[in-house]
Amino acid sequence: MAGDKYSVLLPTYNEKDNLPIIVWLLCKYFHDSSFDYEIIVIDDGSPDGTLEVAKKLQEIYGENRIVLRPRAKKLGLGTAYIHGIKHATGNYIFIMDADLSHHPKFIPEFIKKQKEGNYDLVSGTRYIGSGGVYGWDLKRKVISRTANYITQILLRPRASDLTGSFRLYRKEVLQKLVEACVSKGYVFQMEIIVRARQFNYTIGEVPISFVDRLYGESKLGGSEIIGFVKGLLHLFVST
């Protein structure tokens, strides 16, 4: 549809090695699919020079494609989205991770799915269809599936992947949802889906592959699990 523009919000912290690759991939897939886009890099004062790399990328791809909206220090994901939305000139917003765990090749699939069902939001899911994860051992898979199972039973969200953060939103939908959410971390992404259901927004899903740390596996610590359980219980009693 003429006039659609997609703003990709990329909150970054110490991603000087990954940022050029993700930007290169985003520009490649957007360019090949002819959709109008911009990439908004929200760097939280990374000490490793991520912002300098972002400026060089801006020189290569142009200031209309790479928009820099840095912040002084690490301020959290919710506020990063709010900050990004304020500066976004697109009518649709992609959120994704900048560490190469989410692959831009799915972007045309998200857009196609959104148009198919005129969805308010499209969520990337690792748990159905061709979705999956690279780099998880058996223990991690069991924890993940068990946590998702418990979440499905307690919250019945009618979305298969609640903690995923590769999503496409209409701009005004994301704005309203971020304002309504109070949680942090994994639970923030869960709360967004739960609130979206409360507000009767329509949700579509696209299977995605999640490549968890190409080099070495990311850790899932006890404190993250406890935080997840607390957040889940909070959503259970309040929504």
Partner 1 sequence: MAAPAGKTTTADVSLRVVLLEGEWCCWRIIMTKLMEWLTGAVLILGPWSAVVTNTIQNEFTKQYYMEILLFPVFLVAVFGLVSIAVIAYRVYTFNDCQEAAEELQQQIKEAKADLAKKGLKLD
Residues 6 or more apart in contact with residue 189 via CB below 8 angstroms: 162, 163, 164, 165
Pick between residue 71 and residue 82 the one whose CB is nearest to partner 1: 82
Contact call for residue 218 and partner 1 (CB under 8 A): no
Q: Is 68 in the site for partner 1 (CB under 8 A)?
A: no
Q: Which is nearer to partner 1, 200 or 223 (CB)?
A: 200
Amino acid at 222: G
102 vs 100: CA distance, rounded Å: 5
Q: Does 29 bind partner 1 (CB under 8 A)?
A: no
Residue 210 binds to partner 1 (criterion: CB under 8 A): yes
d(CA 210, CA 124): 10
* 188 is a contact residue toward partner 1 (CB under 8 A): no
Site string for partner 1, 150-179 (x = CB under 8 A): ----xxx-------------------x---
Rule CB under 8 A: is residue 82 a binding residue for partner 1? no
Q: Is 54 in the site for partner 1 (CB under 8 A)?
A: no
Paired with 42 in beta bridges are 11
b/e for 194-208, b at 16 or more Cβ within 10 A?
bbbbeeebebbbbbb
The bridge status of strand 36-43 relative to strand 132-134 is unpaired
102: left (phi over 0), alpha (psi -120 to 50) or beta: beta
209 in contact with partner 1 (CB under 8 A) = yes
* 200 near partner 1 (CB under 8 A): yes
Where on the chain is the footprint of partner 1 (CB under 8 A)? 17, 20-21, 24-25, 53, 56-57, 59-60, 100, 103, 127, 130-136, 138, 141-142, 145-146, 149, 154-156, 176, 198-201, 209-211, 214, 235-239
